[in-house]
């Protein structure tokens, strides 16, 4: 809050608040257009909406199996969705209708083409998704590229709620990983 004196003895209180932007994602939208602020212009993959967001924004995702998009956060380990800022990503109808799908080979087969489902940074949150079919690389950093096939949280301040994490695999340390800093 800012305090500004307009006349001697009279002060005016001005409140400066930033409002979060809600961005939409709809797998079947025929006309996506950044910055994805309505269902008519919704992104068709979650990563595109994350990339135009700023801290505090909310990304709302409607029903579908999201299996395109992504970005590497560590080395060449790609995440289907890399949430690299403090934003909220939530599904409209919950994990039974909204899936984030990585890419894995046959059971316990790993290579550099595998894709983790999601990476969350400090202060980011994920609510109401099924995370499936994610996997890690066969070689590289044990912590960053061989752990957390389904989800990789960069800090204990990342929040995952009402999610189903199933059918993911990791070369070394689990299909879900929380890295404390």
DSSP symbol at 146:
S
81-117 pLDDT, tens digit per residue, is 999 999 999 999 999 999 999 988 766 667 778 899 9
For residue 12, being part of any structural domain is answered with no
15-69 pLDDT, tens digit per residue, is 445 678 999 999 999 999 999 999 999 999 999 999 999 999 999 999 999 999 8
For residue 11, being part of any structural domain is answered with no
pTM of the model: 0.84
Say what the pLDDT of residue 180 is.
54
Residues in the chain: 181
145 vs 171: CA distance, rounded Å: 9
Say what the pLDDT of residue 107 is.
62
For residue 8, being part of any structural domain is answered with no
Q: Does 162 score more than 60 pLDDT? A: yes
Say what the pLDDT of residue 178 is.
67
Total domains present in the chain: 1
For residue 7, being part of any structural domain is answered with no
For residue 3, being part of any structural domain is answered with no
For residue 13, being part of any structural domain is answered with no
9 vs 7: CA distance, rounded Å: 6
Q: Domain range spanning residue 159? A: 21-178
63 vs 11: CA distance, rounded Å: 51
For residue 2, being part of any structural domain is answered with no
31 vs 14: CA distance, rounded Å: 40
Say what the pLDDT of residue 49 is.
98
Higher-confidence position of 87 and 5? 87
For residue 10, being part of any structural domain is answered with no
DSSP-based three-state secondary structure for 47: helix
What is the chain's alpha carbon radius of gyration, rounded to the nearest angstrom?
19
């Amino acid at each position: 809050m800012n305090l500004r004196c307009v006349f001697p003895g009279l002060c005016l209180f001005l409140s400066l608040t930033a409002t979060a932007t809600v961005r939409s994602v709809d797998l079947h939208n025929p006309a996506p257009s950044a910055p994805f602020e309505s269902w008519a212009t919704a992104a068709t993959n979650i990563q595109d909406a994350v990339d135009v967001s700023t801290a505090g924004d909310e990304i709302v995702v409607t029903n579908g199996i999201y299996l395109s998009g992504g970005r590497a956060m560590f080395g060449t380990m790609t995440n289907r969705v890399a949430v690299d800022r403090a934003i909220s990503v939530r599904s409209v109808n919950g994990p039974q209708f909204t899936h984030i799908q990585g890419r894995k080979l046959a059971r316990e087969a790993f290579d550099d083409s595998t894709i983790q489902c999601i990476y969350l940074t400090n202060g980011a949150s994920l609510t109401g998704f099924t995370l499936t079919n994610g996997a890690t690389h066969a070689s590289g950093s044990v912590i960053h590229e061989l752990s957390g096939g389904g989800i990789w949280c960069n800090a204990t301040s990342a929040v995952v709620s009402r999610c189903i994490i199933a059918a993911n695999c990791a070369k070394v340390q689990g299909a879900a990983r929380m890295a404390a800093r």
